């Protein structure tokens, strides 16, 4: 009986380990898939997804990298309008979208190119509330966010009826392992529940 029990435990451990490795490999591929197609100015609107704002209304490193990517893209494609999407979290003094707007204005982007969506508190809300601000005939947008975050943003945009291309902002090295691990779970949730 003990021998049989050992085999059951061993087989169970192998199944669990194999499943974990399989999920890790699958989500790794999804994270890579998020980096394509690269935006080329085709879409009239780009949505910049918010991230944490620190005390003193200072963008977190993640938000700063997203803003840097948005600024480069906006200068390269001056016809593109930017939807700055991010509300105010419980530990933030100001809406993320306001901080984003201030940065882009200070760096030479005309105010008439900037639309503020300042209510969203999740990736799904970023896209849903941004969609409500855009003309109803828009069926494709550019997504600007952290590289690890792009695939999930694309899934959610697709659920809202949008095609999308992307601009990848780098991920801060100090949080890369944590956010990429957390994103894998969020990707599975997005595939299963659509949000």
The 3-class SS string of 80-131 reads CEEEEECCCCCCCCCCHHHHHHHHHHHCCCCHHHEEEECCCCCHHHHHHHHH
d(CA 144, CA 186): 18
Average the pLDDT over 67-94 and give the result: 96
In sequence order, the β-bridge partners of residue 177 are: none
* Residue keyed to tokens 């550019």: 142
**Beta pairing class for 58-59 and 53-54:** antiparallel
Q: CA of 151: how far to CAs of 91, 112, 137, 155, in Å?
A: 27, 29, 24, 6
Average the pLDDT over 28-33 and give the result: 73
pLDDT tens column, 152-179: 999 999 999 999 999 999 998 887 778 7
Do 127 and 156 form a contact (C-beta atoms < 8 A)?
A: yes
Average the pLDDT over 142-154 and give the result: 95
d(CA 129, CA 132): 5
Chain centre distance of CA 81: 18
d(CA 95, CA 53): 8
Return the pLDDT at 9.
Answer: 63
- Residue 22: phi and psi, rounded to 5, are -60, -45
């Amino acid at each position: 009986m003990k021998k049989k029990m050992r085999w059951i435990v061993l087989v169970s451990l192998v199944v669990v380990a194999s499943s974990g490795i399989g999920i890790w490999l699958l989500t790794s591929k999804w994270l890579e898939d998020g980096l394509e197609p690269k935006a080329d100015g085709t879409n009239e609107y780009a949505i910049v997804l918010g991230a944490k704002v620190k005390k003193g209304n200072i963008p977190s490193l993640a938000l700063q990298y997203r803003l840097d990517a948005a600024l480069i893209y906006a200068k390269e494609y001056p016809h593109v309008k930017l939807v700055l999407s991010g509300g105010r979290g419980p530990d933030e003094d100001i809406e993320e979208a306001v901080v984003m707007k201030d940065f882009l204005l200070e760096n030479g982007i005309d105010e008439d190119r900037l639309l503020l969506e300042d209510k969203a508190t999740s990736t799904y809300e970023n896209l849903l509330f941004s969609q409500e601000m855009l003309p109803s005939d828009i069926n494709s947008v550019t997504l600007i966010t952290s590289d690890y975050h792009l695939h999930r943003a694309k899934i959610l945009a697709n659920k809202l009826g949008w095609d999308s291309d992307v601009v990848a902002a780098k991920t801060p090295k100090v949080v890369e392992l944590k956010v990429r691990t957390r994103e894998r779970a969020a990707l599975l949730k997005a595939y299963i529940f659509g949000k």
